């Protein structure tokens, strides 16, 4: 890896001592681990392929659906990835989402009709983990200030089959002005100096400087203030970074506590005890979680949970969402549902008319109790169902990834090799007529249209893999 700067080495020696620093430095020469999370939202039949068998996965002790894998299996290049069967994520990056969802479980149990904000959400690891916990209920707002990264976030939300997320491209300030006291939970995985990722990202080593650390701390302070404003009294906040600097971690938490007496640090001791190699936060913030790559089987991370005291009714920002007063062609939508979907899936689509939103000719189904989004930069809202073209309704790729084989009248299950060909745009052999859900070993992959013993490929051209 790139040589560490003298300033960084001094900082770390002052923070953890010479002996621990030498262990940290030695860990940077080791191969990073590779891990993924199985997508718990995917509805798959009992005879669907087992990713554990395919990739020889080794279960992570602290996560029900987290696994290590061997890099040579290349899960990111397999059609199961395109089908959203899993999300590739470092073990350390799984901890903030785990922390939040376990605390929500303790407080709310099966009540999942919550309003949750992932404030710095790209590329989507924490958003997709929280969505798995929500199970399609409530509303998950996923925000990313950088438009390019917001598009990546939106793509991952679609790939994982999430129907209750609203992806925004806004500043924390804009959101706090709009959503004061609105969210039951907020997670802030703040932009940071990235010291915990040095082993995986040599570019982070090159970009590190004391000045950048200072700028990150200032930015984090501002982001946390806006997050505080949006948290409803009685709500839970999780703050995390992938850096080791005290000024970006414990100092930010202590400053927030000092400035807001209604905020309290939650001792994550019970959750921490489940994570091999996890350490306490530094003095004054020992209830937080620190992960060091020389002790934890993953990269570096920090996470802390806080609760806002009190209880208050949620205020609806700028009023409620107004559904579209008309759908371009209700008959075409009904014909598609009758011809292509199971009775239950058709009932879901047709029964959501009070949540329809037309964007030009495209129909989306908004989450329940969506507030007004007027004036906000919305990248994705709810489930993109499809588009009206002339006298027909053409289902969207997002709908395919949301549905399962049980939700359609015609599906074509393909092998992994056939799946690789399908995502490259190849035509398939197949029976039936009309829209056909293509699944790879049981995981929905995309739409085809069957006629004359062939299935024409409708996998989105922008997602196709050259080859």
Half-sphere exposure of 121 (CA within 13 A, CB side): 35
Q: pLDDT band at 56, cuts 50/70/90?
A: confident
pLDDT of 49 > 90? The answer is no
Choose the catalytic residue: 120, 192, 242, 285.
242
Distance between CA atoms of residues 410 and 400, nearest Å: 12
**pLDDT tens, residue by residue, 125-158:** 999 999 999 999 999 999 999 999 999 999 999 9
Task: Report the pLDDT averaged over residues 175-203.
Answer: 95
Q: What is the pLDDT of residue 316?
A: 67
Task: Report the pLDDT averaged over residues 423-447.
Answer: 96
Task: Report the pLDDT averaged over residues 250-263.
Answer: 98
CATH fold of 91-308 reads: Rossmann fold (3.40.50)
Q: What is the pLDDT of residue 393?
A: 97
Q: pLDDT band at 1, cuts 50/70/90?
A: low
Q: What is the pLDDT of residue 53?
A: 80
Which residue do the tokens 């002339």 mark? 390
Query: DSSP labels for 54-82?
Result: HHT-EE-TT-SSEEE--GGG-GGGSHHHH
Least Cα distance to 302 among 248, 228, 222, 237 occurs for: 248
Q: What is the pLDDT of residue 313?
A: 74
**pLDDT tens, residue by residue, 91-111:** 999 999 999 999 999 999 888
**Domain ranges across the chain:** 91-308, 321-366+380-400
pLDDT of 61 > 80? The answer is yes
Max Cα–Cα distance, the chain, nearest Å: 72
120 carries an active-site annotation: no
The span from the first CA to the last CA of the chain, in angstroms, equals: 33
- Relative to beta strand 263-266, strand 301-308 is antiparallel
Residue 398 CB partners (closer than 8 Å, separation 6+) = 158, 383, 384, 385
Least Cα distance to 19 among 373, 415, 295 occurs for: 295
Neighbours of 377 (CB within 10 A): 15
Q: What is the pLDDT of residue 317?
A: 66
Mean pLDDT computed over every residue of the chain: 95
Q: What is the pLDDT of residue 54?
A: 82
pLDDT of 2 > 70? The answer is no
**pLDDT tens, residue by residue, 264-321:** 999 999 999 999 999 999 999 999 999 999 999 999 999 999 999 998 777 766 667 7
Q: Give 240 or 2, the one with higher predicted confidence.
A: 240
pTM of the model: 0.96
Q: pLDDT band at 324, cuts 50/70/90?
A: confident
């Amino acid at each position: 890896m790139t040589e560490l700067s003298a300033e960084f080495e001094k900082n770390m020696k002052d923070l953890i001592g010479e002996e621990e620093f030498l262990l940290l430095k030695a860990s940077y020469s080791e191969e990073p681990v590779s891990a993924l999370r199985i997508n718990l939202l995917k509805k798959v039949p009992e005879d669907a392929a087992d990713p554990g068998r395919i990739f020889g996965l080794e279960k992570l002790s602290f996560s029900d659906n987290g696994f290590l894998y061997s890099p040579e299996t290349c899960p990111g290049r397999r059609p199961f990835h395109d089908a959203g069967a899993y999300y590739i994520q470092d073990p350390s990056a799984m901890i903030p989402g785990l922390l939040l969802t376990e605390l929500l479980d303790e407080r709310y149990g099966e009540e999942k009709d919550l309003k949750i904000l992932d404030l710095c959400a790209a590329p989507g690891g924490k958003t997709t983990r929280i969505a798995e916990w929500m199970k399609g209920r409530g509303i998950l707002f996923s925000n990313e200030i950088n438009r390019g990264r917001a598009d990546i976030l939106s793509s991952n939300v679609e790939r994982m089959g999430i129907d209750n997320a609203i992806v925004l491209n806004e500043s924390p300030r804009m959101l706090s002005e709009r959503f004061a006291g609105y969210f039951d939970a907020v997670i802030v995985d703040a932009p940071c100096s990235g010291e915990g990722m040095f082993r995986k990202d040599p570019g982070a080593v090159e970009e590190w400087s004391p000045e950048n650390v200072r700028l990150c701390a200032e930015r984090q302070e501002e982001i946390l203030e806006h997050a505080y404003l949006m948290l409803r009294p009685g709500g839970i906040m999780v703050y995390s970074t992938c850096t080791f600097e005290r000024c970006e971690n414990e100092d930010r938490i202590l400053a927030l506590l000092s400035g807001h007496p209604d905020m309290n640090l939650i001792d994550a001791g019970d959750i921490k005890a489940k994570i091999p190699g996890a350490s306490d936060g530094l003095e004054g913030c020992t209830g937080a979680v620190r992960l060091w790559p020389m002790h934890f089987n993953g990269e570096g991370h920090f996470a802390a949970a806080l609760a806002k005291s009190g209880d208050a009714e949620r205020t609806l920002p700028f009023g409620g969402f107004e559904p579209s007063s008309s759908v371009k062609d209700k008959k075409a939508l009904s014909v598609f549902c009758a011809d292509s979907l199971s009775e239950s899936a058709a009932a879901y689509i047709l029964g959501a008319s009070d949540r329809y939103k037309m964007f030009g000719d495209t129909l989306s189904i908004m989450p329940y109790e969506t507030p007004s989004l007027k004036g906000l930069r919305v990248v994705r809202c709810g489930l993109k169902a499809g588009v009206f073209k002339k006298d027909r309704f053409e289902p969207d790729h997002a709908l395919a990834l949301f549905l399962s084989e049980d939700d359609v009248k015609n599906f074509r299950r393909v092998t992994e090799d056939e799946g690789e060909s399908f995502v490259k745009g190849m035509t398939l052999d197949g029976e039936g007529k009309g829209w056909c859900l293509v699944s790879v070993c049981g995981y929905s992959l995309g739409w085809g249209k069957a006629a004359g013993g062939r299935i024409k490929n409708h996998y989105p051209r922008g997602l196709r893999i050259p080859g």
